[in-house]
Each structure stands twice: as C-alpha cells, then as structure tokens.
Amino acid sequence: MIRFHREGYTIIFITFSIVIAGVLLADNYIDHLLVSKAIQIALFIFLILILQFFRNPKRSTPINDDAIIAPVDGKVVVIEEVEEPEYFNDKRLQVSIFMSPINVHVTRYALGGTVSYSKYHPGKYLVAWHPKSSTENERTTVVVKNKSFGEVLYRQIAGALAKRIVNYAKEGDEVIQGSDAGFIKFGSRVDLFLPLNTNVKVNIGDAVKGGVQVIAEK
C-alpha cells in the first residue's frame, strides 16, 4: 500500500478536487472529443505527479551509532572539505545530496542523538546545485549530537522549485536514526557536515536511498 507524507495531505486533496472538477467540466462542456480526452489525460498525469512527489515509503533503518545514513533519496553532488561558518566555524567534510522532483522528499535523521541546534533561514531560491545555495537559499540548519560522531550538522536547502521547507527538529529533542525529520516541497538538496576523519562510503554521482543506505562510518 502506498503511503503519503502528512505534509502532502492538503495539496493532494485540493489537486484531487481540481482534477475531478476538470474532468467533469471537460466531459460536459467541450464538444471536441479529442480535446476533451487530452485535457482529462493531462489532469490525471498532473495528479499522478503530485501523488508520487508526496509518497512516503516505509523504510527499515538499521540503527547504528557508528554509521551515518542517507537523510534523503537523491544523487551525491558534493564531497569536499569546507569551512562551515554558521555553527562550527571550522573545517568539516561536506556531503551534499541533490533531490530531483521525482525523488522521495522525506528528510530522515542521518543519525540518532540529541538536537543541539535548529534554525530557519529565509533566503533566495537559486537552483539547488548552485555553489551559493547552501548559504544564500532558504534553508534550515540542524545539529545532532551523537556519542560516536560528536556533533553533525545537516542543512535542508530549498531549490528553484521548492517553496517550503518543513523541519520537525527542536533543540533538546532526542531523535532516532532514520525517523522523520521533515520535508522539502518540490525539489531541493540536503548538505551534511561531518568530522574530517569520517570515512565516506559513497562517491560523487552515486544514487542513495534515504533512511537505509550507509553513506559514512567512523
């Protein structure tokens, strides 16, 4: 059975209502059969796209404090040593995962621990792979303190299509690896900032599966 994320319930209901109304209007008020059917097919395709975007497949996460799992589905686009200026103010290993509109957009906790920092930043809507999107786009920054890795920062970043980031992390929360951390609507990216000695298990260009795939280890 297909599950849908709670952040999509309202949009799915509105889309479904519009599609039903559009199909009925096309059937009753457009005399040209081919035009009527083309409109109806286009409406159903639109509904399918909305449904697939908000799907929330159940994932079974193997809990492991010595591993970082992919927080989202997508493609690895950055693996590099960078200066992290917002929280750590020192060098970290950045791993970035880009989500296309066809990916599952649920954000899951990459590791378990205690949320020590959670902040929302308004900003621009540059394309998610733009180098400045991590610091200039609308984004949320969350830090989870874990007994094996210490503090790990992840950042949800809105892209050109994403217009709303949902972040469930609150400072002081005890979070479970692989559980629901939020959602980014309509295309985006997630950056992870790891300790420099972290053993990264993926390469640039790899497709990763959120909630189950190990992307780094101690």
**Tokens (6 digits) for 165:** 């980031």
State the chain's mean pLDDT as an integer: 90
pLDDT at 136 over 80: no
Q: Is 133 a catalytic residue?
A: no
**127: pLDDT confidence band, cut at 50, 70 and 90?**
low
Contacting residues for 212 by C-beta, under 8 A, at least 6 apart: 59, 60, 61, 62, 69, 70, 178
When pLDDT is averaged across residues 167-186 and rounded to a whole number, the result is: 92
DSSP 3-state assignment of 93? Answer: strand
At how many degrees (to 10) do helices 33-53 and 9-29 cross? Answer: 170
pLDDT at 140 over 90: yes
pLDDT at 129 over 70: no
The reported pLDDT for the residue numbered 163 is: 60
CA dist 19 and 45 (Å) reads 10
pLDDT per residue over 7-41, tens digit each?
Answer: 889 999 999 999 999 999 998 888 888 999 999 99
In sign, the C-alpha dihedral spanning 197, 201, 202, 207 is: negative
- Whether 61 and 111 have beta carbons less than 8 Å apart is answered as no
pLDDT at 133 over 80: no
The reported pLDDT for the residue numbered 125 is: 60
Looking at per-residue pLDDT, the higher value among 56 and 136 belongs to 56
- Whether 43 and 27 have beta carbons less than 8 Å apart is answered as no
CA dist 106 and 182 (Å) reads 6
Which residue is catalytic, options 96, 133, 134, 188?
188
